[in-house]
Chain A
């Protein structure tokens, strides 16, 4: 028997059906809010109505009298350390004596029905002494501003980058101030989970999250339990976008479960969800670019301020990205950047898709347009002229050691066909306001805008960024079956599909089972920073290679043959002869577990900001075409086209899906998405008042995918998920500026910014 090259469907480069796809579109997928246990009780959270207050007393008397209540817990009931946090342990699991933002958890109630628990929570009497709130981040560091945390000042992180001439000059200088509002991740599946006590002092938590092992560590700390007694399993996740990187109900449900001895389910309503997770940092940015009259950038200065809110969350990393990447994908010899994150009594801000780069991109791209206009240069060509190429240095002095096709990306989107110019009487559905019969086109003007960006992939600045994969190969029912087990969270991005594709490709088996994501295998790291296909993909690849080596070693020993290889589900000799089936060799299962790391990164120098902070960069460009009714302030995005280098598209459909979704999220920030906070109070915690783009708002997209493989990454992949969120919004803002002629130095661009 002679082998032929086996090509089964569902390998890398294909776009197989997602295992969760049909269930999701038919409404049968079990999200975390669908979790159920027959004898469970319901947990709810009492939250602070004040952004800053001292808790003088908590009276539970009336609440405990509500029939059906099985437990009410406050900070004094925390058995371990009452402190959680991704980077700083500054966040109480339950407020202890002081609250620092509106919505901070103060008490927990477990009852036989969620409404009963809510009624009981409403009867808890908290005696607050309202304190002055720090709500303006621009004065948070002033000497006379109160400290949000008693033990240190309001500075979370201060990052500086100094490169080249400290006092540069240039013949053309442009500067601007920019402001970015607070965006919400707006995932559709609210925070929810189920904690089940094991009867031996431990607990199993089923929860929608992004990073099981870091969750586990934090829950253990608060419960005072070792990891063996706190086991986490990923429940169905309805989107994340960074908003599930911090804890929400995890600790609370476990506290109630261990206290009552019963399974406890917690599921936030939409309004509570707005208080249950962190948001994208609002930012204030002051930029200055200097350039030659021929367009080459000479220097850049930036002062970036992020409002971190009450607790640190991911603010240090957001400052890190905002600072090190905040001047865009350009060659700039002289650099002076200050980036800071501060504490306030506003809602806590942390991880969100794009992570510090989103805010900065609005500023640097607006400034590139202004520079082009000042010297009379084409807005695309000035980006192409200054765009990084492979081998260039970033502003931290790091060599970009794989493709950096900035010029190609921006020219590619420019050259895509434009939508037809409006002419004659128009269908109102195509106009701003659409079918609402708002305008018939009287005040409508068209504008086109461009933007480019780059984003780091994976965790940076020396973080030990790794993932673990366990792959088992065995015969089930006469067929070889691979089981892949990682703790890397599937949040809707398609990781489980990629894990299957890698196994099929590396092991040649058709049947690949994805083990539930849990903490019985090593950490997969966070599903964030566009990293899972790269890092967990790398781990799965490495585990498969180890399994394959074991199988072939076993085959060699059993068959007395050397130089064997796997082809499909067959063992093939060097000459192509099939010497055994895979099933024949797999008399016992083969299992390998691999912990895989990408190349190391390093902390940047605290004085100069120089260093190899990042492992990989991903580049994208957008072109937006908008129609703006300049009298009414409404915007219709007519087209949003993009080009992105993805290294290698392991799953082309998933790549395009990520690009489309990310573009929508960036467009949302440019046009409508903002959590409005006044004096520390959230004014719009609902999807009625917090708008996100719908299918009516999304224009057709032309997506051009470039594949310049990164030689340092598994399969050459490059992170995909975040860049489109970064460059889409600035392109939309630029297009609105082009249509209106207004400077528009704040996003979201609100109607009143256009009409006045």
Chain B
């Protein structure tokens, strides 16, 4: 789509370049930005020219640059568990995968965002750059908390998502995944993940069914009744044309139980 309100374009090379002027927006892969009219946008600041390494493996874990494309994530030998399943849940063509960024998907924060599901499932933490000046500081926040609703985040104006950090302790976890959609290639109605860490801690995450991620933590794999009770008690299930809140709660319970059994 033509964005003919846009009259300016800057390639960001340094952090200082990320200070946004009036009407400017950060451009990642552009797969969403270019898909709809952006009548209030007059300038684009290209984040992909920052030159960040897509994935960096350290002793602390995995750092995924906000500009890492989904294709780069999937092709990387150090890709985290559940990456393929969550990318497939995005329902995007390989063409999209080659330009859409992990950070862009997280920042859009749609309830069905596959990269939010991935990061939330793996206790991913967002490294957020605060704008220069003004006394604000860079900070880290769990992705499950960064995504505050269907299409909303906690990011303040001028803040830039720098990276998504996956802790090393979860990279060796056992995981399981389920997705449901009204149509086989339809938008996710619920994305469910489960994880059992080497230390035995169990984490179950509901995305797409709730407006923001629902994270259920247990010191060990819970029983079926306890898990179901927590799923039923979770808040944020929503109704849209592709499914009712009650249905999303119901299928979350059924599919998380399958995951629990798979991880048992």
Minimum CB–CB distance from B248 to chain A (whole Å) comes to 9
Pick the contact of B180: A436, A693, A696 (CB < 8 A).
A436
Identify the stretch in B14-22, B156-164, B218-226, B238-246 within 8 Å (CB) of chain A at 4 or more residues: B238-246
- B198 located at the interface, meaning its Cβ lies under 8 Å from any Cβ of chain A in the complex: no
Indicate whether A697 sits within 8 Å of B247 (C-beta atoms), given known contacts A116-B4, A119-B39, A438-B178: no
Indicate whether A435 sits within 8 Å of B250 (C-beta atoms), given known contacts A676-B241, A691-B242, A751-B243: no
Complex Cα gap A437–B178 (Å): 6
- A579 located at the interface, meaning its Cβ lies under 8 Å from any Cβ of chain B in the complex: no
- A600 located at the interface, meaning its Cβ lies under 8 Å from any Cβ of chain B in the complex: no
- A433 located at the interface, meaning its Cβ lies under 8 Å from any Cβ of chain B in the complex: yes
Minimum CB–CB distance from A696 to chain B (whole Å) comes to 5
Identify the stretch in B52-60, B121-129, B181-189 within 8 Å (CB) of chain A at 4 or more residues: B181-189
Size of interface on A: residues with Cβ below 8 Å to B: 37
Complex Cα gap A694–B258 (Å): 28
Flag if B247 contacts A755 (CB, 8 Å).
yes
Name the CB-closest residue of A to B3: A115
| Chain A interface helix/strand/loop/mixed | loop
Flag if B254 contacts A443 (CB, 8 Å).
yes
Name the CB-closest residue of A to B188: A436
Flag if A696 contacts B254 (CB, 8 Å).
no
Flag if B4 contacts A437 (CB, 8 Å).
no
- B251 located at the interface, meaning its Cβ lies under 8 Å from any Cβ of chain A in the complex: yes
Residues of A within 8 A of B4 (CB): 113, 115-116
B168-195 vs A, CB cutoff 8 Å, 1 = contact: the mask equals: 0000000001111111111101000000
Residues of B within 8 A of A437 (CB): 85, 177-179
- A151 located at the interface, meaning its Cβ lies under 8 Å from any Cβ of chain B in the complex: no
Complex Cα gap A14–B250 (Å): 53
Flag if A633 contacts B178 (CB, 8 Å).
no
Indicate whether A694 sits within 8 Å of B183 (C-beta atoms), given known contacts A115-B4, A115-B5: yes
Complex Cα gap A633–B85 (Å): 22
Contact-residue bracket for chain B: 20 to 34
Pick the contact of A438: B37, B88, B180, B244 (CB < 8 A).
B180
Residues of A within 8 A of B85 (CB): 437
Complex Cα gap A750–B186 (Å): 14
Residues of A within 8 A of B251 (CB): 631-633, 751, 755
Complex Cα gap A453–B246 (Å): 35
Name the CB-closest residue of B to A436: B179
Contacts of A645-689 to chain B: CB distance below 8 A: 672, 674, 676, 683-684, 688-689
Complex Cα gap A634–B178 (Å): 14
Complex Cα gap A115–B39 (Å): 9
Pick the contact of B246: A118, A440, A752 (CB < 8 A).
A752
Pick the contact of B181: A113, A436, A442, A683 (CB < 8 A).
A436
Indicate whether A756 sits within 8 Å of B246 (C-beta atoms), given known contacts A683-B241, A691-B186: yes
Name the CB-closest residue of A to B37: A118
- B255 located at the interface, meaning its Cβ lies under 8 Å from any Cβ of chain A in the complex: yes
Complex Cα gap A691–B251 (Å): 20
- A130 located at the interface, meaning its Cβ lies under 8 Å from any Cβ of chain B in the complex: no
Residue among B179, B184, B242, B243 having the largest count of chain A Cβ atoms under 10 Å: B184
Complex Cα gap A435–B258 (Å): 16
Contacts of B183-236 to chain A: CB distance below 8 A: 183-187, 189
Indicate whether A691 sits within 8 Å of B254 (C-beta atoms), given known contacts A116-B4, A752-B243: no
Residues of B within 8 A of A (CB): 2-5, 37, 39, 85, 88-89, 177-187, 189, 240-244, 246-247, 250-251, 254-255, 258
Given contacts A632-B251, A694-B185, A755-B251, 19 further A-B contacts (CB under 8 A): A113-B4, A115-B3, A115-B4, A118-B39, A122-B39, A433-B180, A437-B178, A438-B178, A438-B179, A438-B181, A631-B250, A672-B183, A684-B240, A693-B183, A694-B183, A697-B183, A750-B244, A755-B247, A756-B246
Identify the 4 closest CB pairs spanning chains A and B, nearest first: A684-B241, A752-B247, A434-B184, A115-B4
